[in-house]
């Protein structure tokens, strides 16, 4: 008992450490589990025994993974993407399986059964890695992103028949046809009964359980359904994973789908992590070292052949070679379902152990390389295909032509609901805007309505320049993806460090990082929602409206530097509200030769002019509310807040004598108060 507890504690501690490291590196945790299994396994350091009990527990990870895939199964989604899913996706998997069945036995010590299994294994890509990376890059809704998702969807569906075939292929060749026929007949019978006659009982049973209003009962019921159907399919000679997939499909047709998905996720992630640890433990580093050349050859062959195949198929579906190559590079690795297939009963007998080790090593290395291939696929395509340079140049040229008429405008990055609402308000104030977005359908409809929006990735330097960044008055990032916002801010910091930038984010998690990257203000949706929630609650409790508004104004004033002064005055008082002069935030870039270089804020006495120094940004780091003894340096961005006249006088005091911007002081003299 003590030894078992020590093993569990060691595994938990190692898993926590590995996940922390891989999360810090922004790599998928499942890669960490694979590496952990390789390192601590009996064929490396020997810190963890490879026992049947651990394999039995890890198999439940596969059960819950297939259950999650079943939950994602959506007939309307398949119908909407049928051309990609059953066209490009089916051809990719079908050609890979045919290649393995017919050609791999000619080059490797395999029969056709092992070749079929290996072809199916190599056809798979990692849904978890690809979807996460595309989401981080805001490319899920791009043309190539939608096609990648369609191919991944068919790969997930193709696992189901392969799960049925693999155990049948392990039988002797003499009875193979009969065995496969029986397996397919049993699968068709079980699936028909469950899917045709199981939907109504499943919905009724979940309604009964949900009316008990017990979260633990609901979770227990989900576990019962998942494991019960998995046991049923195993009892009929099929796999556990197939039954779990069917359970997910049945529940996906009910209104409890999303609740079930949230409840099952902890079980799935933990057990799936253990599954990948056990897969990593199968890798023999000594055998891999002896055949390292074969491992490298296998890795290169997998990545190159798969990328070329998918690129050629994508090209045949009307894509350019550049888009096809990006799709191929993003899917060129081997995914987690490959390990699921190799872990099926009988799979080990179809591939010889001396061949299995180089294949496992090549698969593992391809998954480790996948995030980097996806991250740099655009650069690879750009430097591989000369035509891509022309396409990019044409795209940027079209953006520049459309933005040429705009000056002192607002650049809007992202034209979703928030971006469109902002555009309407700017229109009402007669302020020009120019928007960038990556959703083709949205752009087409908005452009037809007369909105100034074009297709363009706001994280690219040349696109921002073409959108008139150097002439812009401000920039607003309306999507809440913090990593994508940081990419945009990095480009702005290099091109226009003086440009005011407002960034939208979901919560307070990334506020400091976004401000340090150059954001003038970060608007957190959670905070605004909580302010509205609190104000309505206080008014319903009888608190006077004037007091509620003052509290909301005070909170906003302390949080948002740009709103300081905007809410001053008692607009809800008995007397007529006194209209104050408009105040705004303004960034002053300290150029070479500026009079303020080497002087402290106290010496400059900008407060006498009626402005407040809100922040100083230096070397990319933002210092809000700087101290009076802060010395101004060349290259600083001094953010001041006040009226137009006061800002003009402050800019003269900060920059007077600057040689880098001739004529500035003369122009500002006109604004200087008498």
pLDDT tens column, 26-57: 777 878 888 888 888 777 777 777 666 666 66
Predicted pLDDT at 560:
57
Which of 393-397, 399-403, 594-598 has the least mean pLDDT? 393-397
Which of 105-119, 246-260, 428-442, 646-660 has the least mean pLDDT? 646-660
pLDDT in tens, 135-183: 666 676 667 788 888 898 888 888 878 887 887 777 655 566 676 777 7
Residue with tokens 């290169």: 300
User: How many CB atoms lie under 10 A from the CB of residue 255?
Assistant: 11
Q: How distant, in Å, are the alpha carbons of 126, 330, 374, 409 from that of 133?
A: 11, 10, 7, 32
Predicted pLDDT at 607:
87
- On whether the CB atoms of residues 60 and 301 are closer than 8 A, the answer is no
- Beta-carbon contacts of residue 581 (< 8 Å; ≥ 6 apart): 643, 644
Backbone angles phi, psi at 147, to 5 degrees: -70, -35
Which of 52-61, 122-131, 325-334 has the least mean pLDDT? 52-61
Mean pLDDT of 229-234: 84
Q: What pLDDT band is residue 302 in, cutting at 50, 70 and 90?
A: very high
Mean pLDDT of the chain: 79
pLDDT in tens, 507-550: 777 788 888 888 888 888 877 778 888 888 888 888 887 888 88
- Residue 610, pLDDT > 70, answer yes
CA distance 289 to 282: 15
> Residue 583 in 3-state DSSP?
strand
Residue with tokens 């060691």: 10
- Residue 91, pLDDT > 90, answer yes
b or e along 378-417 (b: 16 or more beta carbons within 10 Å of the residue's beta carbon)? beebbeebeebeeebeebbeebeebbeebeebbbbbbbee
Backbone angles phi, psi at 13, to 5 degrees: -60, -45
- Beta-carbon contacts of residue 554 (< 8 Å; ≥ 6 apart): none
- Residue 497, pLDDT > 80, answer yes
- Residue 476, pLDDT > 90, answer yes
- Beta-carbon contacts of residue 93 (< 8 Å; ≥ 6 apart): 120, 123, 154, 155, 158
Using alpha carbons only, give the angle 15, 361, 353 rounded to the nearest 5 degrees: 110
Which of 112-126, 303-317, 399-413, 606-620 has the least mean pLDDT? 606-620
Percent of the chain, pLDDT > 70?
84
Using alpha carbons only, give the angle 190, 156, 166 rounded to the nearest 5 degrees: 60
Predicted pLDDT at 305:
93
pLDDT top residue among 60 and 671:
60
Which of 310-314, 474-478, 611-615, 665-669 has the least mean pLDDT? 665-669
What the block records as the tokens of 117 is 């299994």
b or e along 270-289 (b: 16 or more beta carbons within 10 Å of the residue's beta carbon)? ebbbbbbbbbbbbbbeebbe
- Kind plus residue range of the DSSP H or E element containing 249: helix 240-252
Predicted pLDDT at 241:
76
Predicted pLDDT at 558:
64
Predicted pLDDT at 576:
36
Q: What is the dihedral of CA 227, 228, 233, 234, to 10 degrees?
A: 60
CA distance 492 to 54: 51
Predicted pLDDT at 405:
84
Q: Mind spelling out the 3-state secondary structure of 320-373?
A: CHHHHHHHHHHCCCCCHHHHHHHCCCCHHHHCCHHHHHHHHHHHHHHHHHHHHH
Predicted pLDDT at 306:
94
Predicted pLDDT at 565:
38
- Beta-carbon contacts of residue 281 (< 8 Å; ≥ 6 apart): 37, 38, 40, 41, 42, 43, 48, 50
Predicted pLDDT at 374:
86
> Closest Cα to residue 310, out of 463, 124, 447?
124
- On whether the CB atoms of residues 23 and 30 are closer than 8 A, the answer is no
Alpha helices in 73-103 (DSSP H): 75-80, 82-83, 90-102
pLDDT in tens, 620-637: 666 777 888 899 988 888
For the chain, the farthest-separated pair of C-alpha atoms sits apart, in whole angstroms, at: 104
Predicted TM-score (pTM) of the model is 0.60
- Residue 121, pLDDT > 80, answer yes
Of the chain, the end-to-end C-alpha distance in Å amounts to 88
Residue with tokens 């740099």: 376
């Amino acid at each position: 008992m003590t030894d078992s507890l020590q093993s569990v504690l060691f595994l938990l501690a190692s898993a926590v450490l590995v996940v922390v490291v891989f999360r810090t590196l922004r790599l998928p945790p499942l890669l960490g589990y694979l590496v952990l299994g390789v390192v601590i396994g009996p064929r490396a350091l020997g810190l963890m025994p490879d026992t049947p009990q651990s394999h039995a527990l890890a198999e439940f990870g596969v059960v819950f993974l297939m259950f999650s895939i079943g939950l994602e199964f959506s007939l309307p989604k398949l119908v909407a993407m049928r051309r990609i899913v059953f066209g490009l996706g089916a051809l990719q998997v079908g050609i890979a399986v045919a290649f393995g069945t017919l050609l791999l036995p000619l080059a490797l010590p395999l029969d056709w059964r092992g070749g079929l299994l290996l072809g199916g294994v190599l056809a798979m890509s990692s849904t978890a890695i690809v979807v996460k990376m595309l989401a981080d890059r805001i490319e899920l809704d791009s043309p190539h992103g939608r096609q990648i998702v369609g191919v991944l969807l068919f790969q997930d569906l193709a696992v189901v028949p392969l799960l049925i075939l693999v155990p049948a292929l392990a039988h002797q060749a003499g009875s193979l046809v009969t065995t496969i026929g029986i397996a397919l007949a049993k699968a068709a019978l079980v699936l028909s009964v469950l899917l045709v006659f199981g939907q109504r009982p499943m919905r009724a049973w979940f309604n009964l359980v949900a009316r008990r209003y017990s979260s633990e009962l609901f979770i227990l019921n989900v576990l019962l359904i998942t494991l019960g159907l998995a046991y049923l399919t195993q009892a009929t000679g099929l796999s556990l994973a197939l039954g779990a997939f069917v359970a997910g499909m049945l529940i996906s047709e009910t209104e409890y789908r999303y609740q079930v998905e949230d409840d099952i996720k902890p079980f799935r992630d933990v057990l799936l992590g253990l599954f990948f640890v056990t897969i990593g433990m199968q890798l023999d580093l000594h055998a891999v070292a002896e055949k390292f050349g074969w491992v490298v050859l296998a890795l290169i062959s997998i990545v190159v052949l798969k990328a070329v195949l998918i690129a050629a198929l994508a090209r045949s579906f009307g894509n350019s070679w550049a888009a096809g190559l990006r799709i191929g590079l993003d899917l060129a690795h081997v995914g987690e379902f490959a390990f699921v297939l190799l872990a099926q009963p009988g799979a080990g007998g179809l591939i010889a152990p001396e061949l299995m080790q180089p294949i496992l090593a090549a698969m593992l290395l391809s998954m480790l390389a996948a995030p980097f291939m996806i991250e740099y696929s655009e650069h690879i395509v750009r430097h591989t295909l000369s035509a891509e340079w022309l396409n990019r140049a044409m795209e940027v040229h079209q953006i520049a032509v459309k933005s040429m008429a705009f000056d002192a405008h607002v650049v809007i990055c992202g034209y979703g609901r928030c971006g469109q609402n902002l555009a309407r308000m700017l229109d009402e104030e007669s302020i020009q805007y120019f928007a960038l977005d990556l959703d083709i359908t949205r752009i087409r409809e908005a452009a037809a309505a007369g909105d100034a929006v074009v297709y363009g990735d706001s994280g690219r330097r040349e696109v921002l320049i073409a959108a008139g960044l150097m002439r812009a008055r401000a920039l607003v990032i309306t999507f809440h993806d913090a990593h994508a916002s940081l990419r945009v801010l990095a480009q702005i910091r290099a091109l226009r460090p003086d440009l005011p930038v407002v960034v939208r984010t979901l919560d307070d998690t990334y506020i400091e990082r976004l401000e340090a990257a150059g954001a003038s203000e970060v608007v957190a949706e959670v905070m605004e929602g909580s302010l509205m929630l609190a104000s309505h609650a206080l008014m319903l409790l009888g608190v006077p409206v004037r007091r509620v508004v003052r509290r909301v104004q005070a909170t906003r004033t302390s949080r948002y530097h740009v709103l300081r002064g905007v809410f001053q005055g008692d607009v809800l008082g008995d007397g007529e509200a006194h209209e104050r002069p408009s105040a705004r935030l303004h960034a002053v870039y300290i150029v070479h030769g500026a009079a303020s270089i080497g002087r402290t804020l106290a010496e400059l006495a900008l407060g006498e002019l009626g402005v407040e120094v809100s922040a100083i940004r230096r070397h990319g780091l933002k210092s809000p509310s700087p101290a009076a003894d802060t010395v101004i340096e060349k290259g600083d961005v001094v953010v001041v807040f006040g009226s137009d006249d006061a800002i003009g006088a402050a800019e003269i005091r900060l920059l007077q004598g600057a040689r880098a911007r001739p004529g500035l002081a003369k122009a500002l003299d006109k604004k200087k108060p008498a």
